[in-house]
A = this chain, B = another copy of it.
Amino acid sequence: MILLFLLIDHFKTRVKMSSNRAYYILKFFVFQSRIWQFLRVLINWRCVKLDKDFINLAARSLVWPVCLVGAIENEKHNIMTVAWITQISANPLQLVISIDKSRYTHNMISETGEFMVSILSSEQKEIAAVCGSRSGRNVDKIKQLKIETVPSTVVKVPRLAGCLANMECKVVAQYPAGGRTLFVGEVVAADVGKENLKPMIMYRGKYIG
């Protein structure tokens, strides 16, 4: 800024223009520098936002299976939609699921050490939508959606009829992940649904199967 003043003073004395005119030139420079500052903030904000958008879009480019995760506690059976799930080991066969700490199912799993993974078929989109948006604290989703349950062989949580597959899991480890918990479950028993069922697949926020 001081440099700018000196420059204008020098300019003023050299061309002998009026002080008024020099003042406007100064004002213009100051204004321009403010515009630049504003633009720089705007560009930075836009870049950060674009970076985040790219990161989000890239992560959503991983295809997701769509599952229901079930838990039971004090005879209360609840299910929720989970898409962040993957196998992590073949022998013993283990899965990992990521569940938000605020979810009703979270405490049920961490207290009982058991959960059920029921993989949804492409025809069960309504179930996925309802179980992903409503909390089991207020609604009995299984009754509301008239989902048929089948007794399990090892864990207490029942299996769900009509799914692609059911996997009975026992929790073998829990790890923190921000506001979420990673539950590592060992599959202790399973069944597989009818052969003609096709998997529900999510890709970039849309169902492609």
A-side residues, CB < 8 A to B, are 51, 54-59, 61-65, 67, 84-89, 91-96, 98, 119, 164-167, 173, 175, 177-180, 182, 184, 187, 189-192, 199, 201, 203, 208-209
Contact = CB atoms under 8 A, between A and B. Distances in A.
A178 B98 contact: no
Nearest to A94: B177
Given A93-B55, A173-B175, A98 B86 contact: yes
Q: How many copies of the chain does the oligomer comprise?
A: 2
Contacts of A85: 62, 86
A192 B51 CA distance: 11
21 contacts: A54-B189, A54-B192, A55-B187, A58-B119, A59-B93, A59-B95, A59-B187, A59-B190, A61-B119, A61-B165, A62-B65, A62-B85, A62-B87, A63-B63, A63-B199, A84-B88, A87-B98, A88-B96, A88-B180, A89-B98, A89-B179
A19 to B, nearest CB: 50
A191 B98 CA distance: 25
Nearest to A57: B192
A61 to B, nearest CB: 4
